[in-house]
Structure 1
């Protein structure tokens, strides 16, 4: 089980690394620290597993990002490993106001939190 978790975390890191490379550095364009985001929030947004409320540490990091800006950077490759629905749930659980109709990757945000 630990090996599977480590492999998944490594995969998420590679995907986020690819995202950084392909978008000329998300952190520079959208604020925040991508390594901190990965460290604090990856377990809450990975595709597998249940939707769980984010930790205070994750919320602190995600509040430092311009989430609408980061949503514009999401690629199909990212969506293979990161659940946009869980990402929206995490952002809204952390108190961020994401407007209904905003596009985040391939997902158009509904008015209510997504599960």
Structure 2
């Protein structure tokens, strides 16, 4: 029982650290882009991290966060260090799923060159 509790605490601590590393300086690093608060961004980490499948459908909570975020601005100003944790392809796929405007195919989101959406 104690081991499970310790694992949960470690997982929570890791999630908090990842959130701080990825989104902690969002105002200065992203040129004042409209972005959801760092606490809310945790809802999208399971869908935008480099370490998850790009085929996962985001939760409603994640879509609510994405709709409050200026993805066009984030794409232009995302620091390279944050791209080491985020998959910009996943960010674009999540934004599209949530019906949030993204730059057109051929443009960049960070260092990722945006591809046309896949046919359903």
TM-score class, shorter-chain normalisation, is 0.7 to 0.9
* Cα deviation digits, residues 54-97 of structure 1 (max 9, x gap): 11111112112221111112111001111111111100111124
Is the Cα–Cα contact under 8 Å of residues 19 and 78 in structure 1 kept in the other structure? no
- 1:71 is matched with which residue? 75
Indicate whether 1:6 and 2:13 are aligned.
yes
CA apart distance, 1:33: 2.0
Structure 1 range deviating more: 77-86 or 92-101 = 92-101
SS in 2 for 1:39: helix
Q: CA RMSD for the aligned pairs?
A: 2.2
Give the Cα separation in 2 of the matches to 1:80 and 1:15: 9
Query: Which blocks of at least 5 consecutive residues in structure 1 are unaligned?
Result: none
**TM-score, normalising length from structure 1?**
0.78
* Cα deviation digits, residues 23-53 of structure 1 (max 9, x gap): 45xxxx3324232541321221111122311
2:49 is matched with which residue: 37, 40, 46? 46
Give the Cα separation in 1 of the matches to 2:12 and 2:46: 9
Indicate whether 1:15 and 2:33 are aligned.
no
Which of the pair has more CA radius of gyration? 2
**TM-score, normalising length from structure 2?**
0.75
Distance 1:94 1:36, change over 3 A: farther
Distance 1:19 1:75, change over 3 A: same
Distance 1:6 1:46, change over 3 A: farther
Query: Which blocks of at least 5 consecutive residues in structure 2 are unaligned?
Result: 1-6
